[in-house]
Copies of this chain bind each other. A is one copy, B any other.
Amino acid sequence: MGKSVSIPKGTRDFLPFEMNRRNYIFNTIREVFETYGYVAIETPAMENLSTLLGKYGEEGDKLLFKILNSGDFMAKADPNETNLNKWITVLCEKGLRYDLTVPFARFVVQHREEITLPFKRYQMQAVWRADKPQKGRYREFFQCDVDVIGSKSMLNEVELIQIEDDVFSRFGIHVAIKLNNRKILSGIAQYIDAEDKIVDITVAIDKLDKIGLENVKNELITKGLSSEAIAKLQPVFDLSGSNEEKLSSLKNMLAFSETAMQGIKEMEEIFTHLSYLTLNNPVELDLTLARGLNYYTGAIIEVKAREHAYGSLSGGGRYDNLTGIFGIPDMSGVGISFGADRIYDVLNETNAFPEMLHSNLQALFVNFGAAETQYLLPILRELRAAGLKVMLYPDAVKIGKQFTYANNLHIPYVVVAGEEEIKNHKLQVKNMQSGEQQMLDSTELLALLKHKQ
């Protein structure tokens, strides 16, 4: 009995210990966002399908979860219809949020009279995708996005790089912050007369470390690049040295392209600002970043763990036309997104979650019955008023069972008050880790627990 209950595949329940860890991640990220003045917004789980469809490509449309219309959803249906997309149009008007970017664009357009530009917002909410579930990939997962729109200044990129640095410093994860620029990539593609192949080129270069130069060249040939074009790419493969040296080589190579020179100028401005700061993690120019090439128009940012092969932990970039799809052109923005699930895995596998996340309670008070309860209830109230987390076991069961409960829940102190303690206005306080026992009055107990908080 009761064994058959389950939840939809690709979704998760979160137990208390997981909630503690997840809240630690969300709260840490939120605290950093807020020190830079970013403010929270939330959008509904359901959006109109007209808002979502066509924004994520054909594959994305398929992965949207659609909501059956309520009421007589078959009223307008033609039973002989064989086209699934037409069925969807008839059956469904709403879908679940697929990411936080499109709802944000819709939000900005809808509330443009209520927000002040530059608008610095963050959003931490679930998104849903009907992807095939697999290890580390869920149908309900959580995004933490931070964006500023309505300002073209490179100081915004600098701020987001600082946020990456702050967040991963607080987590104790050593990362490399990688920077690229769409405009420089465009210049390179122009330079070898293959502007339409910009994505193929970047993806291929990205594999240089893994598969070697010859294989990269072979891949480029497969993609239709001429050997002449590939030969012209040699300086890109040879790019080395400091960020400044790389930019200087690129300047020579791409001087002909106004777009590329603009991208190089943006990159230089970012590195100049960064030179005034001492970050904990390195920031590196990396031409192989292909992330979001379809929509980023300027800076591209990606963060990887330095010591582990976890893939990307965070990333983003600048987009010059966030709200164009909803009829408001020229709204430039730049933003990054943190993968809460990936960060969870890194902290979990490296045992890097703080110790204090183990327990939610500071002390358990043993229940002996009515007289003891009368003595303890006002004391508990006093401790809670001071913000302490304490509970009285609700049933006067065997003391062994109550101690087991404290052990199971990792509660650090157990408090016992019997006849003798009540007479003397005292409490017997046991440290569950050391086994040490102390006789304290309620004020002393309050001080002890406050100190340990």
Which residues does A use to contact B, with CB under 8 Å?
1-8, 11-16, 19-20, 23, 31, 34-48, 51, 62-63, 65-68, 70-74, 79-80, 84, 87-88, 91-94, 96, 106-107, 109-112, 114-116, 118, 120-121, 126, 128, 130, 139-140, 148, 151-153, 155-156, 158-159, 162, 166, 273, 276-277, 323, 326-328, 360-361, 367, 373-374, 377-378, 381, 384, 387-392, 394-395, 405, 408-409
Contacts and interface: CB of A to CB of B under 8 A. Distances in A.
Nearest to A391: B37
Contacts of A3: 327
Contacts of A166: 384
A41 B21 CA distance: 12
Contacts of A71: 130
B39 A1 contact: no
B327 A153 contact: no
14 contacts: A5-B51, A35-B384, A35-B387, A45-B45, A46-B65, A66-B68, A68-B68, A70-B130, A79-B79, A151-B394, A152-B395, A166-B384, A273-B373, A276-B373
A284 to B, nearest CB: 20
Contacts of A394: 118, 148, 151, 153, 155-156, 159
Nearest to A138: B44
A2 B327 contact: yes
Nearest to A119: B16
A154 to B, nearest CB: 9
B44 A19 contact: no
B79 A84 contact: no
Nearest to A46: B8
A101 to B, nearest CB: 14
Contact of A8 (B12, B44, B389): B44
Given A116-B405, A394-B153, A13 B111 contact: yes
A38 B41 CA distance: 27
A328 B31 CA distance: 42
Q: Give the one of A31, A42, A387, A408 with max B CB within 10 A.
A: A42
Q: Give the oligomeric copy count.
A: 2
Nearest to A31: B387
B360 A43 contact: no
Given A44-B13, A62-B70, A79-B80, A93 B39 contact: no
Contacts of A106: 5, 7
Nearest to A72: B84
Contacts of A114: 15
A395 B148 CA distance: 12
Contact of A151 (B111, B130, B373, B395): B395
Across the A-B interface, give the 5 residue pairs with the lowest CB-CB distance, nearest first. A2-B327, A1-B327, A11-B44, A79-B79, A16-B39
Contacts of A8: 44, 46-48, 93-94
Given A44-B12, A70-B63, A390-B35, A153 B395 contact: yes
B323 A374 contact: no
Contacts of A87: 73-74
Given A43-B7, A79-B80, A389-B35, A381 B328 contact: no
Q: Give the one of A15, A120, A373 with max B CB within 10 A.
A: A15
A11 B408 CA distance: 41
A395 B389 CA distance: 47
B37 A19 contact: no
Given A114-B15, A276-B378, A68 B45 contact: no
Contacts of A392: 155
Contacts of A391: 36-37, 120
Contacts of A38: 360
Contact of A5 (B96, B109, B120): B109
A40 B361 CA distance: 12
Given A8-B47, A74-B87, A166-B384, A13 B110 contact: yes
A417 to B, nearest CB: 14
A253 B186 CA distance: 88
A210 B350 CA distance: 64
A277 B91 contact: no
A263 to B, nearest CB: 19
